[in-house]
Each structure stands twice: as C-alpha cells, then as structure tokens.
Amino acid sequence: MWLVGLGLLGVVWVMCKLKPTVQLFVKFLTYYTFMSASAVVVMLLSLLSPGNANNFRYLIPPFGVCSLLLGIRAELRDLHNLESDKPYILVSNHQSSLDFIGVSMMIPRRCTFLAKKELLYAGPFGLACWLCGCIFIDRMHHESAISTMVNTASTIKRKNVIVWIFPEGKRNPKKGLQPFKKGAFHLAVQAQVPVVPVVFSGYHFYEKKKRLDAGRFTITALPPVSTAGLTEDDVGALTEDIRQRMLDVYNKTTS
C-alpha cells in the first residue's frame, strides 16, 4: 500500500515540474486513463446486478483517487436536498468532462443518467453506462426521442429512480449557462415528479487547451421544484424559472 502511495506522490511531483501545456496534456491523459479503467471496473462489477442504477456509485473510489492526483476539490452545499425516497429529475449545468469528478462526490443513490445514444457505442464506457441503467436517447430522430421520453416517464415511477439530465445539451466551456432544452422538464411534468437543480460553479482553475491547475469549486443542490398539477403548457415557464434559479447560484458561487 505504501508503494502505491509513493507512486501517486511521484506522479503529482512530475506533474508539478512540467510546463503548463505539457502538464495539461499529462493531467488529462491521467484523467481519461482513470475514466477508462473505472469504466472497466464498473462494467465487471455491474454484471452482478445489471441495470441497477446504484452501479454508478462504483465510480466513487477511483474518481476520489483521481481528484487527489489532480488536486481538484469540491465544496458540497445543501446535499440534503438530494435525499428522497421518491423519484425526481436532477438537472445540472455541464462544463467539461471534469464534471464527473464532482458527480462522483455527490451522486445520490438510485440515480442514473439520460445520455445521447452515441455514448452507447463508446467501448467499455458505453457498456458500463448501459449496465448501470443509463437511458439512451436518439436525438437525431425526433419520434424515437419522444418515444424514449414517454417510456422513461413510466420507468421513473415504476423503478423509483432519479434521472440526471444536463439540460444544456452539450458542454459549455464559457462562463454562465447556455439556454436549456425542454426535454428534462417535459419529462418531469409527464411523470409528475419534482425537479432538483444542482449547480457546479465555474472552473477558474481550468482553461481549455491552456492549463489545468489544482483548485476548488462548489457544488450546490437547490430545493426541489414541484411539478404537481403542471401541464405541457407550463413547461416553457418551468424551464426558464429553473434556469434563472441556477444562474443566480452559479453567479454567486463562481469567483
């Protein structure tokens, strides 16, 4: 065990001595190596209980080690808002693949993800997601996407799961939040389950293609927003209301 510890310290020391651009490459190489290795481990462990959303929690230990190596820490705020024995839709902003460090620190039990169908074919990572009960949506085919959302609304209640969705639809490397797509909120209204917003503050320690330093960020879980009694006509207002709540928190927590 102590040899492993020395080895990790050696990796950190080497990273600190490199030029910023080379350091960036080495750190992301380390990060994606951990992601790939974690996917294989999750895939194998998930074979014991395929389709179980709790399988995603196997990511917690390896990503914990990775965050130590990269020197990335998170302050977790109001996570009690995630505690529920009932289903809900969790929505969060999406800045970078580094988000999964934060995800591993606070992912609630019974939580799976809604992801684009292309991810299913991403080797061990896609297979691991499938074995964790990930819901894949074909965004290129409108009718198929609608069918998936209708089925998902039924599945949420039947399996009593939490579904994590990134409503921006893609990563946002810039400050602030992109406009939200309405799919997550349509789903919440169809299933008549609450929406719980989660906000990742900006990554001041990361500049795309230039540098990745050690640093801290904040993850804030906001109170659940009820959809009881809402209809499809309310989805637009619900989407904008939640986006504004999240943007206010993002601006307050991003230095």
* Tens-place pLDDT, residues 76-107: 999 999 999 999 999 999 999 999 999 999 99
Three-state SS for 7-42 is HHHHHHHHHHHCCHHHHHHHHHHHHHHHHHHHHHHH
Q: Tell me, what CATH number does 136's domain have?
A: 3.40.1130
* Interatomic CA distance for residues 76 and 84, integer angstroms: 17
Average pLDDT over residues 176-194: 94
More confident residue, 24 or 141: 24
Q: How far apart are CA 149 and CA 143, in angstroms?
A: 10
First-to-final CA distance of the chain: 38
Separation CA 244–CA 248 (nearest Å):
6
Please choose, from the candidates 166, 172, 176, the residue with its C-alpha nearest in 3D space to the C-alpha of residue 103.
166
Is residue 181 predicted with pLDDT exceeding 80? yes
Question: What's the confidence (pLDDT) of residue 26?
Answer: 86
pLDDT-derived band at 199, boundaries 50, 70, 90: very high
pLDDT band at 123 (very low <50, low <70, confident <90, very high): confident
Mean pLDDT of 128-138: 89
pLDDT value at residue 15: 53
Q: How many domains are there within the chain?
A: 1
Give me the DSSP letters along the chain. -HHHHHHHHHHHHHHHHS-HHHHHHHHHHHHHHHHHHHHHHHHHHHTTSTT-GGGGGGGHHHHHHHHHHHTEEEEEE-GGGG--SS-EEEEE----TTHHHHHHHHPPTTEEEEEEGGGGGSHHHHHHHHHTTPEEE-TT-HHHHHHHHHHHHHHHHHHT-EEEE-TTSS---SSS-PPPPSHHHHHHHHHT--EEEEEEPP-TTEETTTEE--EEEEEEEPPPB--TT--GGGHHHHHHHHHHHHHHHHHHH--
Q: Is the pLDDT of residue 138 over 50?
A: yes
Pick the residue with more confidence: 24 or 4?
A: 24
Domain residues for the domain of 8 are 2-253
pLDDT at 12 (0 to 100): 52
Q: What is the pTM of this model?
A: 0.88
C-alpha of 81 from chain center = 16
